[in-house]
Amino acid sequence: MRQLGLTWSCNARANLDYDTLKELRDNGLRLLLVGFESDNQQILDNIQKRAKIEVARKFMKHCKDLGIKVHGTFIIGLPVETKETIEDTVSLPRS
């Protein structure tokens, strides 16, 4: 894509490793759309997201280091959500 002078975006899970992200960026990737859903592990487990908070945070660090923008999506009001789990979720994009 880069050879064509194009930049592009796509959907992704928050578990891509550094080398994959670098390869994508080097080939014109500019933005990833990622469904984080929540920043609380219990909530993610309850909705069977099969995602780990620490993996998502590492993913975000890699994206930041590589200059890849991330458009994150979140869900507020999932089953058994509390004020505290909502506060976890809304604090993630700010960090």
pLDDT score for 94? 63
Domain boundaries, the chain: 2-35+49-91
Other C-beta atoms within 10 Å of 94: how many? 5
Other C-beta atoms within 10 Å of 17: how many? 12
What is the per-residue pLDDT across 44-61, written as a single tens digit (0 to 9) for each?
999 999 999 999 999 999
Nearest residue to 41 via CA among 30, 52, 27: 52
pLDDT, greater one: 93 or 50: 50
Q: Measured over all CA atoms, what is the biggest interatomic distance in the chain, rounded to whole angstroms?
A: 48
Across the range 6-28, mean pLDDT stands at 96
Specify the CATH class of 2-35+49-91 in words. alpha beta
Across the range 12-33, mean pLDDT stands at 97
Across the range 26-43, mean pLDDT stands at 95
Q: Is residue 91 within a helix (H) or strand (E), and if so which, with residue range? A: helix 83-91
pLDDT score for 93? 66
